Amino acid sequence: MHQLLSDEQRAQLATIASLVSFKKGAVIYRSGDFADAIFNVVSGVVKCRSGEDGDHIVAFLFPGDVFGLSAEGRYVSSAATVTPVTAYRLPVSALRRQLSADPQLAYSLICKLCQELRQSARHALLLARRRADSKIAAFLQELERLQHASNDASGDIHVPMDRTEIADYAGMSLEAVSRTFAKLSERGIIAQRTRRHVKIINRADFERIAAGEVA
């Protein structure tokens, strides 16, 4: 359920899919590039920036996510890595061929896309919040949910992206992100073991803030 492909399907596609890896900060493709493949994240985190407005991050992609969708043969966004990344690379021509032959694969892909669509709706919800602490709390909630499966018992939330990237994702200024983390820490809502490891201390207030209530 996590990966795009079931094990059997992966075996089936083994001949056309290749495992590629990128180091941190690498650009995977740029908006407008000829779109010859789609990707399925295996490990690491990818950020996807809007094609038009290059400074907004449309999505963070985690293991299992699909990216590289195109319109008229061109990528509509650019993708770069946030951490070192490994991913399956599926050439579209081969994928398309496989899709006609294997309805089950098509169905899996449809489910995956619906998932992405739901994730996108959650992002919209986050962006629509009007208070900075609501955005950041919602953001942390999202990270926590995504890591829930692979979570170490400590309850720590790992924040793989830097403040600028969070700002670009949440539609706020870099300084506001920084201040908001500080404020949530001061108020005892969260604790920051390091900048990249956050723990929720006061769950009740945290949820309230994330939900947009005053708290």
Partner DNA sequence: CGTGCACTTGACAAAAATCAAATTTTGTGG
Partner DNA sequence: CCACAAAATTTGATTTTTGTCAAGTGCACG
What is the contact surface with its own copies in residues (CB under 8 A)? 50, 52-53, 56, 58-59, 69-71, 76-77, 96, 99-101, 103-104, 106-107, 109-110, 113-118, 120-121, 123-125, 127-130, 171-172, 211-212
Q: What residues make contact with DNA under the rule CB under 7 A?
A: 130-134, 162-164, 171-179, 181-182, 194-195
Question: Which CB sits closer to its own copies, 42 or 76?
Answer: 76
What does 7 interact with, of its own copies, DNA, none (CB < 5 to 8 A by kind)? none
CA distances from 23 to 3, 78, 176 (A): 21, 16, 29
What does 3 interact with, of its own copies, DNA, none (CB < 5 to 8 A by kind)? none
Residue 213: how many other CB atoms lie within 10 Å:
10
CA torsion, ordered 133, 137, 139, 145, to nearest 10 deg? -170
CB 67 within 8 A of CB 109: no
What does 50 interact with, of DNA, its own copies, none (CB < 5 to 8 A by kind)? its own copies
Closest by CA to 185, choosing from 196, 166, 169, 201, is 201
Residue 183 beta carbon to its own copies: minimum distance, rounded to whole angstroms: 20
